[in-house]
């Protein structure tokens, strides 16, 4: 990859913006490269309103920076399938990319990090300079977080695979990146999103003209110049937390 990558651990904060200071740090990483437009993609059950303080911070620290946060797939709509969200955000972001001759920066939170990764992998002419993934389950999710207990009160992490690894389950975003280490065969065969991004499953939508669709996705993704992965053991969002640093999965248990 062109340019260095970074992995940063973060202390725990309270409320919907518990990792706000990590976002500030991520913003600074991007800002030192130049005043390129910044695109922010929210996470699960979030909306643009969750980033008011971040927008204020950017405007105060780096006035004149064009920052875009979209009211797309807000709150409960964030449960829609990830590929649908990728296409929706891509349509909104693409004009910004086209009008930014010097490139843009992505700051993507939680589930938004997976959405941004899908955009970067499937957009062959993007000019994203920095991809900042903040507490995002890049290697999958497997843990009893608060939102999981809220959505699936009748399930625990040990039996959620019964639902997630079905055609119905794959219509819910969380199941698109649910990675049960005890049922990897089912994960690989059923996952419509993460297994494809991780090249763990052959892309069923590939054509005979493209012999290696994942090679193309990798080529597209590697157009970025900087990759920043931010997470920590007490972020309260991702389980296991190493997934936010794109762990190989050894910490899943």
What would the pLDDT profile of 166-218 be if each residue is shown by its tens digit?
Answer: 999 999 999 999 999 999 999 999 999 999 999 898 776 554 445 566 788 99
Report, as an integer, the average pLDDT of 90-119.
Answer: 96
Q: What is the pLDDT of residue 52?
A: 84
Quick: pLDDT tens for 231-245.
888 777 788 888 988
Token pair, residue 239, equals 């389980």
Q: What is the pLDDT of residue 20?
A: 55
Q: What is the pLDDT of residue 212?
A: 66
Positive or negative, the Cα torsion across 196, 248, 151, 113?
negative
Tell which residue, 251, 243, 250, has the closest CA to residue 111.
243
Does any domain span residue 30? yes
Q: What is the pLDDT of residue 14?
A: 39
Q: 146 vs 58, which has greater pLDDT?
A: 58
Does any domain span residue 53? yes
Quick: pLDDT tens for 35-55.
899 999 999 999 888 888 888
Tell which residue, 158, 80, 126, has the closest CA to residue 224.
126
CATH of the domain at 83: 3.40.50.1820
Q: What is the pLDDT of residue 28?
A: 56
Q: What is the pLDDT of residue 56?
A: 82
Q: What is the pLDDT of residue 55?
A: 83
Separation between Cα atoms, residue 120 and residue 86, nearest integer Å: 10
Whether the predicted pLDDT of 249 surpasses 60: no
Whether the predicted pLDDT of 90 surpasses 60: yes
Q: 78 vs 8, which has greater pLDDT?
A: 78
Separation between Cα atoms, residue 226 and residue 223, nearest integer Å: 9
* Burial class of residue 85, CB neighbours in 10 A (0-12, 13-18, 19+): buried
Whether the predicted pLDDT of 22 surpasses 60: no
Does any domain span residue 19? yes
Does any domain span residue 133? yes
30 φ/ψ sector (left φ>0, alpha ψ -120 to 50, else beta):
alpha
Q: What is the pLDDT of residue 140?
A: 95
Does any domain span residue 127? yes
Token pair, residue 83, equals 């590929």
Token pair, residue 59, equals 């405007």
Whether the predicted pLDDT of 19 surpasses 80: no
Predicted model pTM: 0.85
Tell which residue, 120, 86, 242, has the closest CA to residue 179.
242
Does any domain span residue 200? no
Q: What is the pLDDT of residue 211?
A: 52
The strand order across the sheet containing 67-69 reads 5-8, 226-230, 128-134, 104-109, 38-41, 67-69
Q: 7 vs 147, which has greater pLDDT?
A: 147
Strands 226-230 and 104-109: unpaired
Separation between Cα atoms, residue 14 and residue 237, nearest integer Å: 11
Residue 180 φ/ψ, nearest 5 degrees:
-85, 115
Q: What is the pLDDT of residue 230?
A: 86
Q: How confident is the model at residue 18 (pLDDT cuts 50, 70, 90)?
A: low
Structurally, how many domains does the chain consist of? 1
CA angle centred on 16, ends 15 and 21, rounded to 5°: 85
Q: What is the pLDDT of residue 88?
A: 98
Q: Which domain holds residue 141?
A: 5-149+221-245
Residue 54 parent element (H or E): helix 52-61
Does any domain span residue 157? no
């Amino acid at each position: 990859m062109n340019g260095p990558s970074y992995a940063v651990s973060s202390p725990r904060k309270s409320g919907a913006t518990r990792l706000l200071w990590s976002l500030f740090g991520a913003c600074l990483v991007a800002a030192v490269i130049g005043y390129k437009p910044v695109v922010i993609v929210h996470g699960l059950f979030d909306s643009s309103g969750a980033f008011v303080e971040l927008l204020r911070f950017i405007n105060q620290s780096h006035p004149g920076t064009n920052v875009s946060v979209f009211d797309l797939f807000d709150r409960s709509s964030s449960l829609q399938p990830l590929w649908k969200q990728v296409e929706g955000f891509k349509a909104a972001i693409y004009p910004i990319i086209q009008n930014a001759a010097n490139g843009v920066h992505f700051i993507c939170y939680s589930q938004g990090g997976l959405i941004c990764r899908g955009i970067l992998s499937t957009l062959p002419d993007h000019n994203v300079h920095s991809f900042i993934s903040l507490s995002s389950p890049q290697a999958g999710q497997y843990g009893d977080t608060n939102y999981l207990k809220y959505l699936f009160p009748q399930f625990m992490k040990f039996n959620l695979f019964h639902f997630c690894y079905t055609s119905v389950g794959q219509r819910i975003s969380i199941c698109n990146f649910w990675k049960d280490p005890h049922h990897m065969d089912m994960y690989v065969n059923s996952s419509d999103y993460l297994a494809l991004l991780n090249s763990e499953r052959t892309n069923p939508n590939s054509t005979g003209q493209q012999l290696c669709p994942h090679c193309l996705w990798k080529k597209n993704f590697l157009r970025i110049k900087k990759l920043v992965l931010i997470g920590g053991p007490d972020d309260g969002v991702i389980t296991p937390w190493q997934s936010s640093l794109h762990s190989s999965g050894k910490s899943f248990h």
